[in-house]
Chain A
Amino acid sequence: DAKTTQPPSMDCAEGRAANLPCNHSTISGNEYVYWYRQIHSQGPQYIIHGLKNNETNEMASLIITEDRKSSTLILPHATLRDTAVYYCIVRVPQRAAGNKLTFGGGTRVLVKP
């Protein structure tokens, strides 16, 4: 899996968009970008993933740069319940190694009233 770099923490105002960056300059052509989050004391939660096109779902939008070396997760209207650690993962979905997910340090996002 390609290495990713995320800021360790960021604050966001409730109701505003939260833009979470992720650098993955060594990404290879068949690796996807995934985002998960983990709210305190809960299980990790899948948010979104993409290969090269921008993606949007009911939770967030994912913007991937044209060279695919970085991406941004956008939470359009952050709420207090979005306070969590957000993980950017770059990987090829695979049966090998049990399809294990490896979370790095992530970004600790605090949404403030």
Chain B
Amino acid sequence: NAGVTQTPKFQVLKTGQSMTLQCAQDMNHEYMSWYRQDPGMGLRLIHYSVGAGITDQGEVPNGYNVSRSTTEDFPLRLLSAAPSQTSVYFCASSYSASGNEQYFGPGTRLTVT
């Protein structure tokens, strides 16, 4: 199986534009999440989902929306991009919401000018 996949790998946006970062997993994992990682900093949780139809906010949710219509997919929408959202975005999944190991995608490197 492919594990966790993310598209695109790289994206440049202008301030005010919107876009959707795609994340998919083929492991039938219940839990999925989005993190951002800024240079020299740790991971910060944006949004997470404990199952289809259920989402919740992490520690830095402002400016982002998510939905979970299927078990496999968990897209992250940037509503109106700002330079402060320049970051690397990682999607992760685990078998359960209190899962031991989490599997990460390769990341999307986003630049907002």
B92, B101, B105: the one contacting A34 at CB < 8 Å is B101
CA distance A49 to B101 in the complex (A): 8
Residues of A contacting B: mostly: loop
Q: A77-102 vs B: 1/0 string, CB under 8 Å?
A: 00000000000000001110011111
Is A100 in contact with B45, judged by CB distance below 8 angstroms? yes
Q: Count how many pairs of residues, one from A and one from B, have CB atoms less than 8 Å apart in the complex.
A: 60
Q: B1-16 vs A: 1/0 string, CB under 8 Å?
A: 0001000000000000
- Chain B residues 83-103 with CB under 8 Å of chain A are 90, 92, 94, 97-103
- Give chain A's interface residue range (CB within 8 Å of chain B): 10 to 19
Is B42 close to A, CB under 8 A?
yes
Q: B34-76 vs A: 1/0 string, CB under 8 Å?
A: 0100000011010010100000101100000000000000000
Chain B: interface residue total (CB-CB under 8 A): 26
Which residues of chain B are near A102, meaning CB under 8 Å? 42-43
Is A43 in contact with B90, judged by CB distance below 8 angstroms? yes
Which residues of chain A are near B43, meaning CB under 8 Å? 44, 100-103
B45, B56, B104: the one contacting A43 at CB < 8 Å is B104
